[in-house]
Amino acid sequence: MVILLTGAAGFIGSHLTEHLLGLGHTVIGFDNFDNQYDPARKQLNLRLIKGHRNVNVIEGDIRDQTLLADVLRRYQCDTVVHLAARTGVRDSVREPALCLDVNVNGTLSLLEAMRTTNVRRLVMASSSSVYGNSTFVPFREDDDANLPLSPYAMSKRSAELLTHTYHHLHGFNVACLRFFTVYGPRQRPEMAISRFTEKMFGGQPITIFGDGNTSRNYTYIYDTVMGITSAINHLNGFDLLNIGGAASTNLRDLVSMIERAVGRKAVIDWQPNQPGDVTLTCADLHRASNRIGYFPSIQIEEGINRFVRWYQQSVLCS
């Protein structure tokens, strides 16, 4: 396959690029290297693929439909994996217009570029945030997802609806993957596991919003990459699929796991709940296992230990 991968220099995108190249695919990476976090980190994410004969990384914005169409034609792409997005619930509350412009208009730009170049295979990153504060646990793909709590959640649900429209009108084969808090080496620096680890090693307080009893379904990067790859291989019609870990983890328990891995006790700065945050995410994985053979394999404590070892070797020792 020749795969256009948007967001290729990001956390998930860089891991997926390496995996797809290892499988023998050609990857056309597309990334704008924006400053939501240090662009130098994104350049570092790509260091393992530099010089590989089956990859090209193009700097560009997904809102540039003309450029996207040119890339799809020039490299004769047959599949698109769309990971590029303006990420983060709290950032979206601060800058809702930018979030919607990138995540909704950018997705529309990509879909139109695909339509005009006759590319009909799409795997798109969505988010567990679309479920809001659902009272139906675990979250199933056929649950109502129409009460988002943040502009980010709304933008991801809107992007899902856009892809369904293109499936209906233009025969696109689409899988929207609802990711549940992905973590692991290269995780974005503002995310909890990365931020807590950095602060604990530095002897600084960690900030916890709320009472520490929120729970998240954490998904190790290896499992996420396996889920995306399986979705690529099973594209047929239109589907919504949860890609999550095996169970949800309480925030206090998560902090304890990081403390054990780091070997230091955390000093906690307790702060009020943040607008847009949900209290629980919990994935029902039956549909993903039945339709694409997805089964998470890395338990949370093992994943935390792997992340902390990577952090010690690649960040502290660099």
Which of these, 10, 6, 4, 2, lies nearest to 186 by C-alpha position?
10
Q: Report the DSSP pairing between strands 206-209 and 182-183.
A: unpaired
Question: Phi then psi for 209, rounded to 5 degrees?
Answer: -95, 130
CA atoms within a 13 Å half-sphere pointing along the CA-CB vector of 151:
19
Q: How far apart are CA 290 and CA 267, in angstroms?
A: 43
Q: Report the DSSP pairing between strands 248-250 and 215-217.
A: antiparallel
Q: How far apart are CA 246 and CA 119, in angstroms?
A: 34
Q: Report the DSSP pairing between strands 219-220 and 238-243.
A: unpaired
Q: How far apart are CA 27 and CA 21, in angstroms?
A: 7
Q: Report the DSSP pairing between strands 219-220 and 182-183.
A: parallel
Nearest-10 crossing angle of helices 251-262, 192-201? 40
DSSP letter string over 178-241? Answer: EE--EESTT--TTSHHHHHHHHHHTT-PEEEESSS--EEE-EEHHHHHHHHHHHHHT--SEEEE
Q: Is 166 exposed, middle or buried (0-12, 13-18, 19+ CB in 10 A)?
A: buried
Which are the catalytic amino acids? 152
Long-range contacts of 160-164 (CB under 8 A, 24+ apart): 160/124, 160/126, 160/130, 160/240, 162/104, 162/107, 162/108, 162/111, 163/107, 163/111, 163/122, 163/124, 163/238, 164/238
